[in-house]
């Protein structure tokens, strides 16, 4: 297939996706479960893909994603709360010290940029560490960021540990999908570029990659900063989805959830991460909901055992453990959805060996 | 000034001892499997819940040994189910599995308790109040450091003098060669988890006698801090982990005393990062060289 036809098909598919989304939203309504799951799923897809860029493609086992999301979410919220509402939101800090408001789109970009800037600073020391030390150091930085944001002295900016609210949000599913699609497309282009190949080389063998003339630190730093940029944007979108924001929610368990999504989808597969995100959100928010309510069979005579509040998450985490233990490649392994439709050139595997 | 600092210092030493008991579990598992056992903090929490439920039915002196046994069983089961099948897998897979177990245990505990905080039972004698100088504190504050040091000395003796201790040292030096020399690797690993969980159970009794309320996620923070203590002391080294834990416990409480409570958790991680940058092998860690 020629490249131009391929591009045409891709654009066609994207347009089709948005048309379908539009009709789904018209049909089910904006507050329906399906649309809610789609919104949250798209945001998680972006965040999972950004984490996969680091963990799956560059082989940097970072657990700092929640921290960068937090920075993004707060940057967005702080910058976009309307002037008229600031007094009410910052009631303990006399309206705060930020005397301007920016449009939502600028806020989102600022969220990404600030997260990226922070990543560049953190990356300087942290990226020299290896595997599990890197994991624990990034986890540590995420906790430090959370502590700083909740610090009273920064209250006039971050509102301390109080809720941030009344910033602009989205009502329709279309803008979320548009933002997530653009970001994920950028990551896909990056991975298919020279840089992407360098990332994969580093993942497969650092020493060999270095011997090939790849500047290890430069590329690791780049992957880290770009991943954090998109995590920041993801955080801003998540803040918009939630409608109110508190630093306490961005604990390390959030990073773990995203990591598990990446693993379920397959480390090193963008489409895997996207599918796993929707699956994860749909299961945890919707399809497994019935497990949380008591159920009676046979006209109310037989109470199904075990089913009560919280059972959903138990079943869910058992399923995740099964994937982690027995299906270590996840849904897609390292393949992509589009690889399944384009027949592989012969001999390709042979060359790889 | 001393009068004001004393209660903080005392609780620092006490919480340091409790971290130490958890940290030993981390450092031993890391020494042998090269795995950060993220589920260790949740096993610590589970020990807390075992106590809550068992003490409701049995008198406390009977409940404590039962709690210890159940915790050990849980620890060994986790190893058998979640880590053993991945013995030949890349290290990151095992770490992901540990994160998965942590997620599972937290959700399971949430399910069993309904997400509500449970009141930890009052244990006679160790929950009593005592007055030292100007500070009033619980008996547990005084018992913890003593008990910690006794347990750690016993453990070090086991590792230095007994056959299983020798096997553990061999396995942590070189996993594969130890296997070739006829050491039953699985029983050594199980023993490690038995000891780690046992100490975590004791630590949990002491910790929750002090902080009395148990929630499903309460163990995550002490768990991470104990891990930092283990890294700080030099991962794999038991005395290192204990000293690291005491330093972290004391510093954390001094920071609280100075009025920066928000940063008491962040301090631990800042310390971790400083240590990783300047002396990644920790205070007493062994040097490792990487081969191509």
- Please give the residue of chain B at the shortest CA–CA distance from A317: B104
CB A258 within 8 A of CB A276: no
pLDDT of residue A353: 40
Number of domains comprising chain A: 1
Number of domains comprising chain B: 1
pLDDT of residue A351: 44
- Please give the residue of chain A at the shortest CA–CA distance from B231: A133
| Side-chain-facing half-sphere of B28: CA atoms under 13 Å | 31
How far is A150 from chain B, CA to nearest CA, in Å? 7
How far is B106 from chain A, CA to nearest CA, in Å? 9
Q: Is A332 helix (H, G, I), strand (E, B) or coil?
A: coil
Pick the closest to residue A9 from A268, A333, A337 (CA basis).
A337
pLDDT, tens digit, for every residue of A81-135? 888 888 888 888 877 788 788 898 999 999 999 999 999 999 998 888 877 788 8
CB A164 within 8 A of CB A89: yes
Q: How far apart are the first and last CA of chain A?
A: 26
- For residue B74, the enclosing domain spans 2-277
The token pair at B151 is: 């347990």
What contacts A267, CB < 8 A, 6 or more positions away?
Answer: A52, A55, A56, A330, A334
Residue B285 lies in a domain: no
Q: Do A135 and B82 touch (CB under 8 A)?
A: no
pLDDT of residue A345: 55
* Chain A, chain B: beta-carbon pairs less than 8 Å apart: 118
pLDDT of residue A155 exceeding 50? yes
Is the CB of B280 inside 8 Å of chain A's CB atoms? yes
pLDDT band at A313 (very low <50, low <70, confident <90, very high): confident
Backbone angles phi, psi at A302, to 5 degrees: -115, 115
Q: Do B217 and A256 touch (CB under 8 A)?
A: no
Residue B282 lies in a domain: no
Residue B170 lies in a domain: yes
Is the CB of B288 inside 8 Å of chain A's CB atoms? no
pLDDT of residue B71: 96
Residue A91 lies in a domain: yes
Residues of A in contact with B34 (CB under 8 A): 132
pLDDT band at A199 (very low <50, low <70, confident <90, very high): very high
CB B160 within 8 A of CB B246: no
pLDDT, tens digit, for every residue of A216-229? 999 999 999 999 99
The token pair at A125 is: 């020391």
Residue A275 lies in a domain: yes
Spans in chain B with pLDDT lower than 50: none
pLDDT of residue A352: 44
Rg (CA), chain A: 22
Q: Point out which residues pair with A244 in neighbouring strands.
A: A165
Q: Label each residue of B34-88 as H, E or C.
A: CCCCCCHHHHHHHHHHHHHHHHCCCCHHHHHHHHHHHHHHHHHHHHHHHHHHHCC
Assign residue B109 the CATH number of its domain. Answer: 1.10.3470.10
Residue B86 lies in a domain: yes
Residue B289 lies in a domain: no
Backbone angles phi, psi at A35, to 5 degrees: -65, -40
What contacts B162, CB < 8 A, 6 or more positions away?
Answer: none
Q: Do A325 and B111 touch (CB under 8 A)?
A: no
DSSP result, B165-195: HHHHHHHHH-HHHHHHTT--HHHHHHHHHHH
Assign residue A46 the CATH number of its domain. Answer: 1.10.3470
Residue A36 lies in a domain: yes
Q: Do A320 and B228 touch (CB under 8 A)?
A: no
Angle between helices A3-28 and A174-191 (to 10 degrees): 160
- Please give the residue of chain B at the shortest CA–CA distance from A122: B273
pLDDT of residue A68 exceeding 60? yes
pLDDT band at A347 (very low <50, low <70, confident <90, very high): very low
Pick the closest to residue B19 from B256, B262, B232, B280 (CA basis).
B232
Residue A249 lies in a domain: yes
Q: Give CA separation, A116 vs A119, A128, A158, A203, A232, in Å.
A: 5, 18, 19, 21, 8
Q: How many CB atoms lie within 10 A of CB A196?
A: 18
pLDDT of residue A350: 44
Q: Give CA separation, B253 vs A95, A177, B280, in Å.
A: 33, 47, 25
Write down the mean pLDDT value for chain B: 88
Residues of B in contact with A132 (CB under 8 A): 34, 36, 91, 95
pLDDT of residue A3 exceeding 80? no
Pick the closest to residue A72 from A184, A174, A149 (CA basis).
A149
Residue B255 lies in a domain: yes
Is the CB of A154 inside 8 Å of chain B's CB atoms? no
Residue B286 lies in a domain: no
| Cα gap B116→B118, rounded to integer Å | 6
Is the CB of A321 inside 8 Å of chain B's CB atoms? yes
Residue A1 lies in a domain: no
Residue A251 lies in a domain: yes
Pick the closest to residue B239 from B273, B280, B199, B284 (CA basis).
B284
| Cα gap B202→B208, rounded to integer Å | 10
How far is A86 from chain B, CA to nearest CA, in Å? 24
Rg (CA), chain B: 19
Residue B270 lies in a domain: yes
Backbone angles phi, psi at B234, to 5 degrees: 100, 105
Residue A175 lies in a domain: yes
pLDDT of residue B286: 65
**Which of B89, B98, B262, B267 best tests the A interface by mutation, with the highest count of A CBs <10 A?**
B262
The token pair at B95 is: 């770490």
pLDDT of residue A273 exceeding 80? yes
Backbone angles phi, psi at B79, to 5 degrees: -60, -45
**Which of A51, A149, A310 best tests the B interface by mutation, with the highest count of B CBs <10 A?**
A310
- For residue A47, the enclosing domain spans 8-352
pLDDT band at A348 (very low <50, low <70, confident <90, very high): very low
Helices (H) and strands (E) in chain A, counts: 16, 4
pLDDT band at A151 (very low <50, low <70, confident <90, very high): confident
What contacts A172, CB < 8 A, 6 or more positions away?
Answer: A25, A30
Indicate the residue of B103, B108, B115 with minimum beta-carbon distance to A256. B103
How far is B241 from chain A, CA to nearest CA, in Å? 16
CB B16 within 8 A of CB B245: yes
What contacts A5, CB < 8 A, 6 or more positions away?
Answer: none
């Amino acid at each position: 297939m020629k490249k131009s036809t391929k591009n045409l098909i891709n654009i066609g598919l994207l347009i089709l996706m948005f048309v379908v989304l539009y009709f789904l939203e018209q049909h089910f309504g904006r507050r329906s479960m399906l649309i809610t799951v789609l919104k949250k799923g798209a945001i998680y897809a972006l965040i999972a893909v950004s984490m996969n860029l680091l963990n799956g493609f560059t082989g940097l086992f970072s657990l700092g994603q929640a921290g960068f999301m937090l920075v993004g979410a707060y940057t967005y919220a702080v910058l976009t709360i309307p002037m008229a509402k600031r007094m009410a939101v910052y009631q303990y800090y006399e309206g705060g010290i930020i005397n301007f408001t920016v449009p939502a789109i600028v806020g989102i970009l600022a969220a990404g940029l600030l997260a990226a800037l922070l990543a560049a600073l953190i990356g300087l020391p942290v990226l020299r560490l290896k595997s599990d030390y890197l994991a624990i150091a990034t986890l540590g930085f995420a906790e430090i960021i959370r502590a700083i944001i909740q610090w009273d002295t920064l209250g006039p900016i971050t509102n301390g540990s109080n809720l941030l609210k009344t910033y602009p949000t989205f009502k329709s599913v279309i803008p979320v999908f548009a933002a997530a699609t653009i970001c994920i497309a950028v990551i896909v282009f990056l991975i298919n570029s020279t840089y992407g190949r360098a990332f994969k080389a580093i993942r497969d063998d650092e020493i060999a990659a270095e011997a090939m003339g790849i500047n290890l630190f430069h590329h690791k730093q780049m992957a880290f900063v770009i991943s954090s940029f998109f995590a920041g944007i993801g955080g801003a979108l998540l803040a918009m989805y939630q409608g109110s924001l508190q630093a306490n929610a961005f604990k390390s368990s959030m990073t773990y959830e995203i990591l598990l999504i990446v693993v379920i989808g397959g480390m090193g597969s963008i489409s895997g991460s996207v599918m796993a995100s929707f699956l994860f959100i749909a299961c945890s928010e919707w399809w497994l909901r019935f497990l949380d309510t008591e159920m009676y069979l046979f006209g109310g005579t037989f109470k199904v055992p075990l089913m009560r509040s919280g059972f959903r998450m138990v079943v869910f985490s058992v399923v995740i453990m099964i994937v982690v233990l027995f299906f270590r490649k996840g849904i897609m392994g390292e393949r992509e959805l589009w690889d399944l439709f384009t027949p592989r050139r012969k001999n390709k595997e042979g060359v790889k060996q | 000034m001393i009068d004001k600092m004393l209660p903080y210092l005392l609780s620092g030493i006490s919480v340091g001892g409790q971290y130490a008991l958890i940290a030993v579990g981390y450092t031993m598992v890391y020494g042998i499997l090269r795995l950060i056992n993220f589920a260790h903090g949740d096993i610590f929490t589970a020990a807390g819940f075992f106590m809550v439920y068992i003490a409701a039915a049995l008198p406390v002196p009977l409940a404590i040994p039962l709690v210890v046994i159940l915790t050990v069983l849980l620890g060994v089961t986790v190893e058998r189910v979640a880590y053993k099948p991945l013995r030949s897998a890349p290290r990151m897979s095992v770490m992901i599995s540990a994160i998965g177990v942590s997620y599972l245990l937290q959700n399971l505990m949430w399910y069993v308790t309904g997400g509500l905080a449970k009141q930890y039972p009052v244990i006679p004698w160790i929950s009593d109040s005592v007055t030292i100088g100007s500070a009033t504190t619980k008996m547990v504050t005084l018992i913890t450091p003593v008990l910690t040091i006794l347990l750690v000395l016993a453990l070090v003796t086991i590792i230095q003098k007994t056959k299983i201790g020798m096997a553990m040292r061999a396995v942590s030096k070189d996993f594969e060669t130890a296997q070739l020399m006829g050491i039953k690797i699985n029983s050594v690993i199980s023993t490690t988890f038995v000891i780690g969980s046992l100490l975590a159970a004791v630590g949990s009794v002491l910790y929750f006698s002090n902080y009395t309320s148990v929630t499903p996620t309460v163990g995550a923070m002490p768990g991470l801090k104990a891990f930092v203590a283990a890294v700080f002391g030099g991962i794999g080294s038991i005395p290192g982990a204990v000293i690291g834990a005491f330093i972290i416990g004391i510093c954390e409480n001094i920071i609280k005393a100075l009025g920066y409570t928000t940063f008491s958790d962040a301090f631990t991680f800042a310390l971790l990062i400083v240590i990783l940058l300047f002396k990644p092998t920790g205070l007493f860690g062994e040097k490792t060289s990487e081969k191509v």
